[in-house]
């Protein structure tokens, strides 16, 4: 995945005292296949730069094309009714011939990896996901003082002067309420960090890519906040990779480093004089998140006096003072972790409310009961699988109208999931362009098979065009399965495991071969008949003894249909039963005659005839009445 790096150099404005000169940096992942909105509005933009008042609320639309390795930027025209004094609204690119920035023609430009464009006070650069930052000069020197402390150890250290920290933390409630994204939380928290640590020159959220091995020194700076008049602001802020990897990967605890210009006997490559740092001691604190994300809060600055020229008492005082910053950093990291966890759970609950029937919503507000429910257990489950077939072909056939095609598919998926939850079913998730729903969790319901069947018929009725075109099928089974949270522990997502689930997939796949919208298992057919023996609402008819992939024994499959769209009258049902009996027992001549004479337009009859035609309507010597239904193309 590609990322867009944004570096904003905000200049102080004497007319606006609230605007502080500061450098802000951040990275945004780029998603392919959808427009990406860029602007100042944090609530509505995919890429938000709220500090740059020279960027409009909705500045530009970006499109990332991974196949062509390019990012297209299209500036939106200004909208005077909404902006009495609109921003310049220009996109600039560097002209190699003129050796200066020029306005992109028509507000449109295309950039490749490593290239940049400028809007307002912000430079945007296209990167690979996981591209590392340049090496920090301090990593070529030595850190004679290194302190490490766990979260518990820092909690035991009292605040020496809590005033500044407490004043900064007064902002936390408003900060937490204002954010609506992970990036927004990082941005706001770094402002709190800079207020709480006045001696810090820069702060950042850094990340070690998840796929980086232990000896890989990659480091990505996700968000940064730099005082422009500091050494980091003038020379560019480059966190120490050695410190970050030590804190995040090796030690997994807060680490403090103080660097020295004295390299005697250390084998260091550079002195601080070589890096243009004189008469000061650079320092940095790196505090890793404890949630396994490989993120960390990195804070850096410098203190007066060269480390090697200071008395030990002065060195100890510097470390003690900076330990207070370690304590503040650990506290803020804990706040970030908690806020992210709550935010993710909130977003997750919103998703769950769309996937669970309203009767289960009450459990979302009872963590203990929810945790009990999510524990994997065996249940008698009724499963329904609905699949939109040939979506890739459908998309290619509608390539000139992709958004319209996507909306049609999205509507179909919403129809499926809505039919399930409206009838007290649970949506286990989306398998590509398919939906898996089930009944019987967290406890069995005496009418769960009937509710599942009604959901299947409702989907068929609402997606008539899809089912008639053979682009949608439904499978329905009932049996024992493990239900509960089968994946990540911090997700309240319910999934299923067991042969009954696999059988649902197999029956759905057979709908295309048989040419019917809904196929159910033998047990479902028996339970539906027992609940409604006269078939006043829905009926089933046997399709034959089929062989399903992954199942050693053949099993009976049945079509489910509504009495409102009844396919046969009573005498035809008797004829069907007789024809199927002849087919299953190997009396193929009689079966072929009945199917051809009575059911000339029935797709199921055509499927059985294709089975017989494969062996010239003579049953093979090992015929046991079971078969793998061939599709219309013979496959």
Tens of pLDDT along 453-488?
A: 999 999 988 887 766 666 788 999 999 999 887 754
pLDDT tens digit sequence for 566-606: 667 777 888 999 999 999 999 999 999 999 999 999 999 99
**183 within 8 A of 26, measured Cβ to Cβ:** yes
Give the model's confidence band at 402: pLDDT under 50 very low, under 70 low, under 90 confident, else very high.
very low
Give the model's confidence band at 541: pLDDT under 50 very low, under 70 low, under 90 confident, else very high.
very high
Architecture of domain 2-128: Sandwich (2.60)
Whole-number average pLDDT of the chain: 83
Alpha carbon distance 225, 613 (integer Å): 74
pLDDT for 413: 77
Which pair of structure tokens corresponds to residue 320?
A: 């003690």
pLDDT for 22: 86
pLDDT for 616: 92
Locate all alpha helices (DSSP H) within 545-602, ordered by sequence: 570-585, 588-598
Please determine, for residue 266, whether its predicted confidence score (pLDDT) is greater than 50: no
Task: Indicate the range of 118-122, 229-233, 497-501 predicted with least confidence.
Answer: 229-233
pLDDT tens digit sequence for 208-220: 887 766 677 788 8
In CATH, 376-567 is 1.10.390.10 = no
More confident residue, 262 or 616: 616
Residues in the chain: 635
Q: Helix and strand tally (H, E) in the chain?
A: 17, 26
pLDDT for 272: 40
Please determine, for residue 425, whether its predicted confidence score (pLDDT) is greater than 80: yes
pLDDT for 265: 41
pLDDT for 449: 96
Residue 195 Cα to chain centre, angstroms? 33
Q: Which residues contact 101 (CB under 8 A, 6 or more apart)?
A: 92, 93, 94, 95, 118
Please determine, for residue 129, whether its predicted confidence score (pLDDT) is greater than 80: no
Which pair of structure tokens corresponds to residue 266?
A: 């250390």
pLDDT for 489: 47
Alpha carbon distance 41, 589 (integer Å): 74
Alpha carbon distance 278, 256 (integer Å): 21
pLDDT for 388: 80
Most confident stretch, 258-267, 269-278, 385-394, 618-627? 618-627
The hierarchical CATH code for the domain 137-342 is 3.30.450
Please determine, for residue 432, whether its predicted confidence score (pLDDT) is greater than 60: no
pLDDT for 85: 59
Task: Indicate the range of 155-169, 469-483, 542-556 predicted with least confidence.
Answer: 155-169
Please determine, for residue 153, whether its predicted confidence score (pLDDT) is greater than 60: yes
pLDDT tens digit sequence for 234-258: 557 889 999 999 999 999 999 999 9
Please determine, for residue 294, whether its predicted confidence score (pLDDT) is greater than 70: yes
pLDDT for 87: 56
DSSP collapsed to 3 states, 420-438: HHCCCCEEEEECCCEEEEE
Give the model's confidence band at 322: pLDDT under 50 very low, under 70 low, under 90 confident, else very high.
very high
């Amino acid at each position: 995945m590609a990322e867009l790096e944004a570096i904003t150099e905000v200049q102080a404005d004497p007319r606006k005292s609230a605007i502080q000169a500061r450098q802000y940096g951040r990275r945004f992942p780029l998603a392919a296949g959808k427009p990406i909105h860029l602007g100042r509005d944090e609530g509505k933009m995919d890429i938000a730069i709220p500090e740059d008042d020279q960027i409009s609320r909705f500045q530009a639309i970006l499109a990332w094309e991974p196949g062509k390795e390019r990012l297209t930027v299209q500036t939106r025209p200004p909208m005077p009714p909404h902006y009495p004094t609109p921003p310049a609204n220009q996109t600039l690119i560097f002209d190699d011939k003129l050796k200066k920035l020029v306005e992109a023609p028509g507000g449109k430009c295309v950039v490749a990896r490593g290239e940049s464009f400028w809007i307002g006070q912000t430079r945007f650069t296209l990167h690979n996901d996981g591209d590392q930052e340049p090496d920090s000069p301090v990593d070529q020197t030595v850190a004679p003082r290194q302190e490490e402390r766990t979260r518990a150890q820092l909690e035991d250290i009292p605040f020496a002067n809590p005033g500044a920290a407490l004043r900064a933390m007064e902002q936390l409630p408003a900060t937490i309420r204002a954010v609506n994204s992970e990036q927004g939380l990082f941005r706001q928290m770094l402002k709190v960090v800079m207020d709480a640590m006045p001696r810090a020159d820069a702060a950042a959220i850094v990340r070690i890519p998840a796929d980086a091995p232990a000896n890989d020194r990659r480091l990505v700076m996700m968000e940064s906040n730099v005082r422009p008049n500091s050494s980091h602001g003038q020379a560019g802020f480059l966190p120490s990779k050695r410190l970050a990897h030590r804190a995040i990967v090796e030690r997994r605890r807060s680490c403090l480093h103080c660097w020295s210009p004295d390299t005697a006997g250390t084998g260091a490559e550079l002195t601080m004089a070589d890096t243009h740092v004189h008469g000061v001691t650079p320092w940095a604190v790196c505090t890793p998140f404890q949630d396994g994300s490989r993120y960390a809060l990195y804070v850096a600055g410098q203190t007066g006096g060269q480390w090697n020229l200071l008395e030990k008492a002065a060195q100890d005082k510097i470390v003690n003072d900076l330990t207070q910053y370690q304590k503040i950093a650990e506290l803020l990291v804990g706040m970030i972790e908690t806020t992210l966890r709550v935010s993710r759970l909130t977003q997750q609950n919103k998703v769950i409310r769309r996937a669970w029937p309203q009767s289960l919503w009450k459990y979302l507000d009872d963590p203990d009961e929810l945790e009990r429910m999510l524990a994997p257990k065996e249940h008698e489950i009724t499963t329904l699988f609905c699949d939109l077939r040939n979506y890739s072909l459908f998309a290619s056939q509608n390539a000139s109208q992709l958004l319209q095609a996507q909306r049609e598919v999205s509507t179909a998926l919403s129809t499926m999931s809505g039919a399930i939850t409206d009838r007290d079913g649970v949506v286990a998730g989306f398998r590509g362009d398919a939906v898996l729903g089930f009944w019987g969790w967290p406890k069995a319901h005496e009418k769960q098979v009937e509710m599942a069947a009604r959901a299947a018929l409702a989907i068929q009725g609402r997606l008539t065009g899809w089912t008639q075109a053979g682009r949608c099928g439904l499978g329905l089974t009932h049996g024992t399965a493990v239900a509960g949270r089968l994946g990540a522990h911090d997700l309240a997502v319910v999934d299923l495991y067991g042969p009954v689930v696999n059988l649902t997939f197999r029956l759905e796949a057979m709908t295309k071969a048989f040419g019917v919208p809904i196929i159910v298992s033998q047990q479902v057919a028996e339970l539906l008949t027992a609940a409604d023996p006269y078939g006043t609402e829905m009926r089933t008819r046997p399709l034959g003894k089929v062989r399903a992939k992954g199942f050693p024994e053949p099993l009976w499959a049945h079509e489910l249909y509504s009495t409102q769209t009844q396919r046969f009258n009573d005498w035809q049902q008797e004829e069907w039963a007789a024809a199927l009996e002849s087919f299953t027992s190997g009396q193929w001549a009689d079966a072929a005659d009945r199917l051809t004479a009575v059911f000339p337009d029935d797709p199921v009859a055509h499927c059985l005839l294709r089975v017989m035609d494969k062996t010239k309507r003579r049953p093979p010597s090992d015929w046991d009445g079971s078969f793998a239904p061939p599709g219309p193309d013979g496959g």
